Structure 1
Amino acid sequence: MSEKKNKICSVLLSMLCIVMLLSYAMPYSHSAEAGSSVTLICAQDSVKVSDMNWKIYKVGERRSGSFSLTGEYRKYPVDMSELSEDNVRGIAQAIESFIIGDRIKADAEGITDSSGAAVFNGLDKGLYLAVAKKVQKEHLTYLATPLLFEIKEDGSAEEAFPKIYSVITLQGEASSYTVRKIWADNDDSYMARPVNVTVDLFRDGELYDTVVLDEKSNWQYRWNTLDNGSEWRVVERNIPVKYAVLVDYSSKQFIIKNSYAPDIFIDGGEYTQTTTAPAVTSTIPTTTTSAAVSTTGPKLPQTGQLWWPVLPLALGGITLICIGILSRKKNKEDEK
């Protein structure tokens, strides 16, 4: 009778170990699927900018230490080989212009609250672009520069700080806008330039006009409008082969810079980088450099920690328990 009780206790102990190990593993595997989160903090000096609408797009990923555009963004002639402080803004604004021109749907959308914060949850690892609509507060209009940031696969919650600036809102007065083309090429490549380029003007995301820039116009165009509440963007069409694009704009001036890039070519209708990009600089905010945001729920695995071995270890533990039971039984039989 005592031997029977020992067997029952051993089985119950084994079942208890199974339940404990599985309960330890299951919450983490479930939470890991939830992804990471980022909070955009929007403020200019001491002013917290609320009611600002943000959209984020997953545009690329890190490969061998450098970033590459992926998915439907791969076709855009944007050189991702060096995301330095000098050109990261132009890269972000160039990608934004293509998104507007091709009407790409955002992966997520949010509005800043009274503290100027907009939270985005459930993000997979990758390179993201965040763009915002301007918001008017009394006599000031607040705008945000498009932001590139990286999410790493560690289930963390981070903060990012877009650059916010403001301009005085003028009602009923004519405003003048300018788009200008700049060529950045050397004496050996200027022959690759086209005789003209086509640029679409977008007002609040809708096509407003299409203009042609050439040497005769000094590669620029100016237009006037009484509508001071709209947001304007420019999109270059039919970009010449072996040229990469940067876009820089203020509230009323747009500059499209085409840099000669012989390592970019069209392959099957898509622009492709043919050289290995150098390591990315720290200009892009990542989940390792941003300040953490407090979250609720079970703690997720950090970068470098792997939770997939938990279940195999649990099964290994069960196996060892069973072996121990069988060994003890065999020893008792040998003693008889």
Structure 2
Amino acid sequence: MKHLMKTIGAVLCAGGLLMTGAAATQLAFAAGDIGSLTLHCVKDDVILENLQWELYRVGSREGNTFVPEGEFASYSVIIDDFSPEAMAAFAETYENIALTDPDIDPLRTGATDAQGTLVFDALESGLYLVCGSVLEVDDGYYIPSSLLFEINGENTTMDWDAYPKIEYHTNSELEVIYTVKKVWLNENGELRDPATEITVEIYRDLELYETVVLSDANNWTYEWKDKDYYDFRVIETVIPEGFRVEYESNETQYLIKNIYQPTDTTTSTPQDTTTTETTTLITTATEDERLPQTGQLWWPVILLALGGLVFLAMGCRFLFASREE
């Protein structure tokens, strides 16, 4: 089924944008060595029971970057840009990798209960990704957004409550044209000359559908036609040396970015960011001992809208609460 939302809470808005609840999201807190994530899944007062979720540990913090670990370490994806656009792309990139690499297994899986709730508890420090599956009902289907979150700190417990963005769509036999395009960028995000041709695997509903080569000969672009209810994903099979990869998409367009990664790079420090969110998270930090908060800066983990190939801020609020024992 069609998975329209491919980024971390990416939302496609066909009729325009409703801008609400913008708020600055600089958050300072001490997160915990042990934490939890509770998902609350409701759409238009409909409680979504048996919505399947997968939890992945993708990496950990090293200074001002997040470095992939385990099976994710073989991919050239290091989070060192904390802008809203970059965070949305990183989330989609990790989701694509997790769902198409057969060697990557989720840390845990689960389904929502009769209240639409699912808890992943006893989480150690690290960066995590949660991905939801399409839930088919009668003549339609529900599409949950995925999200990234971090558990990190000392002598505290960090508990997240997340209310994922969920869209409902009716089934359709409409055929549409899908497009995958490759761009080459320098370290400043500017277009640069291509390095080499690349091979791309196209997945339909998580099954390998087609393998294509993108090069100057086809303007680094490939198109195909299929029903609009399918969930397509694209993966670059081999990342050229000296580059890292990012993926972005909307309903029918898929963008692969190879970004030049100089050997000697400096990392950016997360800055105060004003954005709007489409998933609400409430966090509660409970200190095991009376320790001052660390002042660690939290980047805006959730969520950004994606229209075409341009990220647009949409949605509701990001909430944060903390309490000391």
User: How far is the alpha carbon of 1:300 from its aligned partner?
Assistant: 7.4
Higher normalized strand content (fraction of residues): 2
User: How far is the alpha carbon of 1:126 from its aligned partner?
Assistant: 0.6
User: How far is the alpha carbon of 1:276 from its aligned partner?
Assistant: 4.5
1:47–1:179 distance in 2 versus 1, CA, 3 Å = farther
Residue matched to 2:60: 61
User: How far is the alpha carbon of 1:38 from its aligned partner?
Assistant: 0.7
Higher normalized helix content (fraction of residues): 1
* 1:279 is aligned to 2:269: yes
* 1:122 is aligned to 2:114: no
User: How far is the alpha carbon of 1:161 from its aligned partner?
Assistant: 3.4
Structure label with greater radius of gyration: 1
Residue matched to 1:291: 283
User: How far is the alpha carbon of 1:200 from its aligned partner?
Assistant: 0.4
Paired-residue identity, %? 31
Alignment TM-score, normalising by the size of structure 2: 0.67
1:40–1:239 distance in 2 versus 1, CA, 3 Å = same
Secondary structure, counterpart of 1:81 in structure 2: coil
Residue matched to 1:193: 195
Residue matched to 1:314: none
User: How far is the alpha carbon of 1:236 from its aligned partner?
Assistant: 0.6
Residue matched to 1:95: 94
Residue matched to 1:209: 210
Secondary structure, counterpart of 1:80 in structure 2: coil
Instruction: Give the whole-Å Cα distance in 2 for the aligned partners of 1:188 and 1:152.
Output: 33
Residue matched to 2:248: 248
Residue matched to 2:29: none
Alpha-carbon displacement from aligned partner over 1:259-298 (angstroms, at most 9, x marks no partner): 22224xxxxxxxxxx5352323578x9xxx83349xxxxx
* 1:157 is aligned to 2:155: no
1:220–1:116 distance in 2 versus 1, CA, 3 Å = farther
**Runs of at least 5 residues in structure 2 that lack an aligned partner in the other structure:** 1-31, 293-325
Secondary structure, counterpart of 2:84 in structure 1: coil
**Runs of at least 5 residues in structure 1 that lack an aligned partner in the other structure:** 1-31, 264-273, 294-298, 306-336
User: What does 1:1-336 correspond to in 2, within 5 Å?
Assistant: 35-44=34-43, 46-103=45-102, 104-153=104-153, 154-170=156-172, 172-185=173-186, 190-191=192-193, 193-194=195-196, 196-226=197-227, 228=229, 230-263=230-263, 274-280=264-270, 290-292=282-284, 301=288, 304=291
Alpha-carbon displacement from aligned partner over 1:111-138 (angstroms, at most 9, x marks no partner): 2234432211121111001111112334
Instruction: Give the whole-Å Cα distance in 2 for the aligned partners of 1:86 and 1:59.
Output: 19
Contact 1:37/1:123 (<8 A) preserved: yes
Moved more, 207-216 or 125-134: 207-216
AA aligned opposite 1:301: D
User: How far is the alpha carbon of 1:187 from its aligned partner?
Assistant: 12
Of structures 1 and 2, the one with the larger relative CO (CA 8 A, separation 6+) is 2
Instruction: Give the whole-Å Cα distance in 2 for the aligned partners of 1:86 and 1:126.
Output: 22
How many residue pairs get matched?
Answer: 252
Secondary structure, counterpart of 1:275 in structure 2: coil
Alignment TM-score, normalising by the size of structure 1: 0.65
Contact 1:89/1:146 (<8 A) preserved: no
Moved more, 247-256 or 121-130: 247-256
